[in-house]
Amino acid sequence: MKKKSVLPVLILAGIVIFFYLPLVVLVVNSFNASRVSSVWGGFSLKWYERLFSDQNLLRSVKNTVLVTGISVLCSTVLGSLAGISIARFKSRLQKVHSVFIALPLIMPDILIGISLLLFFISFRIRLSLLTIIIGHITFCVSYVASTVQARFQNFDFSLIEAAQDLGAGKGQILWKIYLPLLAPGILSGAMLAMTLSLDDFIISFFTAGPGASTLPIQIYSMIRHGSPPVINALSTLFIAFTFIVLLFYQRISRRLNNEN
Amino acid sequence: MKIRTCSFMAALILSVFLLGGCSKEESRKLYLYNWSDYIDEELVKTFTEETGIQVITDYFDSNESMYAKLRSGGDGYDIVFPTSYMVEIMNQSGMLQQIDHSRLSNLNNIDRKFTALSVDNDMEYSVPYMVSTTGIGYLASELGELDSLSWDIFGTSDYALKMTMLNDVRETIGAALKYLGYSYNSRSEAELAEARDLLIAWKKNLAKFENDQYKNGLVSSEFVISQGYSGDILQVQEEREDLQFIVPEEGTAISIDNMVILKGAKNTDEAYAFIDYMLQAEVAAANIEYVYYLAPNTEAYKLLSEDILNDPAVFITDEVLENSEILLDLGDDNELYSRIWDEIKSAR
């Protein structure tokens, strides 16, 4: 008989305590009538009321939806195309391209943020929501491209050749062969892009113009000089939203995998 | 499946344009850069109704991050709300417009006792917005209701390890300086050395130097006496009836947040209209009642409720004012303070 190790149990306990317990504390506190987290003042929805009556907060929710929506859409299209062309074709230039596309993965956010800011200023582009979106697309493309590339690990290129033999055009091949086969990779790339764009603070902070605060910027400024319970309420909704998206993602990706 | 994906994308694109469309109304606008929860939004709404000027606010969490953002090229804001020491830094970097007094009909409402404390005492480039004090929060259930308290309380061992002071170079060393009868902005090495020795003695009674959690510690009785900002104590006072705020008898540090117009402001007319609106007695009074900081506006004082006038955490009396100072930027002498602070922190 093999002796059971306690290590896995310890690790599990550690994960539960350090990762999930804070989330639970946060959710519970968002319903706490007292504004101090160490005291339970009874159940209350007042922080949610406060949240939904705060115009500036709602504006930053709108900004976040816009930024994340557009940058996920654009970076998914661009990143998928980049991933396909890097994995499909092999030439010296391809290597350069793949370095280019991988660079933002390892580059610190603060470098990307500052260099984007300097770039915008030197070209006299006024900072606005658009500049945040451009910034987000820049780093999201890399993540989508690398997850799409990963799908090529055991890709059967003979399918492409067969299609070409049967007279399929480039567009047809892209739409009918690449897309369905790569769909799980594209989807998880888009998911990754969404989470990264949703909670990016540093790049957004540098590239945000007036009136273009996103949620992370807003939350950060509220921590020091605002009411923490409202942040709790907001974060609870954030968590709920993330879980719903995750649920959908699992459903869709399971179906896609079954189809293949 | 394909059709569904397409229609989903189409819907997403459409919604993006619709949402984008909403924000493109052509109207007069004003961009503010403020601390969060530092203005009564109802007043802003009324301002928009009265003038048709749409107010868009972004928030910063510290003077430093605001300064970094503006210096690195973040333009487009009209009015910013920096603390007085940051006003000086911004003015020296040439970021501020001169304030044209003739365009502010309510400027006479400003309580000149406060501007007298500041470097810009003629309001050439800043108009004071809110003032607050540093003081001591204590539990009346332990100490009883106090009429006066000395900074020396940190030197008594009755509440040893149940007291905290701020983890802030200037505030903490300043409190010791003030107790010794010196200025918060002292530049004398001898005075600072004296303050250092005093603080090292006080430190034995302190649980810790603490900036953020002391208010929660007071509510949960972990601490009994804490040096803290009036705004922080007020935030948690509704949780504990016996939590009181008092300004030590030797005097304290007063902090002033100001309204300034940036040089690059595109909506100067709107900025003046807004500042003048905030200086109206009724508006300032309503703002005080909401934010619970004191707007230095003599006309507004007359409209305040008794509760506010008697609350030492909000209303600053002449007695307190007389002994108190604002923290000035010390330039090169800041280094002296950090050295002293290091010695205090590392002392055993």
Of the listed ranges B22-36, B152-166, B247-261, B321-335, the one predicted with least confidence: B22-36
- pLDDT tens, residue by residue, A173-226: 888 888 888 888 999 999 999 989 988 999 998 898 888 889 888 888 887 666
Tokens 């619709």, located at residue: B18
Q: Is the model's pLDDT at B341 over the cut of 60? A: yes
Indicate the SS3 state at residue A32.
strand
Nearest by CB to B61, which of A59, A70, A221?
Answer: A221
Q: What was the ipTM of the complex prediction? A: 0.73
Q: And the tokens for A182?
A: 């790569």
- State whether B36 and A118 contact (CB < 8 Å): no
Angle in degrees, 0-180, between the axes of helices B2-22 and A55-88, rounded to the nearest 10: 140
In angstroms, the CA A216 to CA A221 distance is 9
Nearest by CB to B35, which of A54, A62, A225?
Answer: A225
In terms of DSSP H, where are the helices of B77-184?
A: 84-92, 112-115, 140-143, 169-179
Residue B53 vs residues A242, B46, B77, B273, B284: alpha-carbon distances, Å:
37, 10, 14, 9, 19
- pLDDT tens, residue by residue, B131-152: 999 999 999 999 999 989 999 9
Q: Is A118 on the interface with B (CB under 8 A)?
A: yes
Work out the pLDDT band at B271, boundaries 50, 70, 90: very high
Q: Is A14 on the interface with B (CB under 8 A)?
A: no
In angstroms, the CA B272 to CA B261 distance is 9
In angstroms, the CA A197 to CA A247 distance is 19
Q: Flag residues of chain A having pLDDT under 50.
A: none
Nearest by CB to A225, which of B31, B38, B69?
Answer: B38
Residues written for chain B: 348
Instruction: Report B:197-256 residues touching A (Cβ under 8 A).
Output: 215-216, 219-220, 235-236, 238-239
Q: Domains of chain A: which residue ranges?
A: 55-259
In angstroms, the CA B235 to CA B248 distance is 20
- pLDDT tens, residue by residue, B236-258: 887 888 999 999 999 999 999 99
Task: Choose from A25, A29, A35, A128 for mutation: most chain B CBs within 10 A.
Answer: A35
Full set of structural domains in chain B with CATH: 27-131+255-323 (3.40.190.10), 134-253+325-346 (3.40.190.10)
pLDDT at B25: 47
Q: Is A117 on the interface with B (CB under 8 A)?
A: yes
Q: Is A62 on the interface with B (CB under 8 A)?
A: yes
pLDDT at B20: 46
* Mean pLDDT score, B294-298: 95
pLDDT at B22: 45
Indicate the SS3 state at residue B56.
strand
Work out the pLDDT band at B21, boundaries 50, 70, 90: very low
Q: Is A169 on the interface with B (CB under 8 A)?
A: no
- pLDDT tens, residue by residue, B57-66: 998 888 888 9
Q: Is B9 on the interface with A (CB under 8 A)?
A: yes
What is this structure's pTM?
0.80
DSSP symbols for B46-64? HHHHHH--EEEEEEESSHH
Pick the CATH number of A55-259 from 3.40.605.10, 1.10.3720.10, 1.10.150.120, 2.40.10.10: 1.10.3720.10
- pLDDT tens, residue by residue, B111-135: 999 999 889 999 999 999 999 999 9
pLDDT at B127: 96
pLDDT at A97: 86
- State whether B215 and A209 contact (CB < 8 Å): no
The answer to whether A238 and A219 have CB atoms below 8 angstroms apart is: no
Tokens 């290597």, located at residue: A95
- State whether A213 and B59 contact (CB < 8 Å): yes
- State whether B35 and A221 contact (CB < 8 Å): yes
Tokens 């001169």, located at residue: B98
In percent, how much of chain B has pLDDT > 90?
68
The answer to whether B196 and B117 have CB atoms below 8 angstroms apart is: no
Residue whose C-alpha is closest to residue B117's, from B104, B133, B100, B106: B133
pLDDT at A168: 86
pLDDT at B15: 52
The answer to whether B9 and A69 have CB atoms below 8 angstroms apart is: no
Within a 10 A sphere around the Cβ of A158, how many other Cβ atoms?
9
**Which amino acid, A66?**
L
Q: Which residues have CB under 8 Å from A215's CB, separation 6+?
A: A60, A61, A63, A64, A198, A234, A238
The count of CB pairs under 8 A between chains A and B is 98
In angstroms, the CA B174 to CA B170 distance is 5
pLDDT at A235: 87
**Which amino acid, B330?**
L
Which residues partner with B130 through β-bridges? B257
The answer to whether B308 and B146 have CB atoms below 8 angstroms apart is: no
- State whether B16 and A127 contact (CB < 8 Å): no
Closest residue in chain B to residue A222, using alpha carbons only: B36
Nearest by CB to B16, which of A34, A59, A66?
Answer: A66
Q: Are strands B29-35 and B79-80 parallel, antiparallel or unpaired?
A: parallel
Nearest by CB to A225, which of B37, B73, B220?
Answer: B37
In angstroms, the CA A61 to CA A66 distance is 9
pLDDT at B5: 53
Higher pLDDT: B161 or A1? It is B161
Nearest by CB to B216, which of A38, A70, A220?
Answer: A38
Q: Is the model's pLDDT at B18 over the cut of 50? A: no
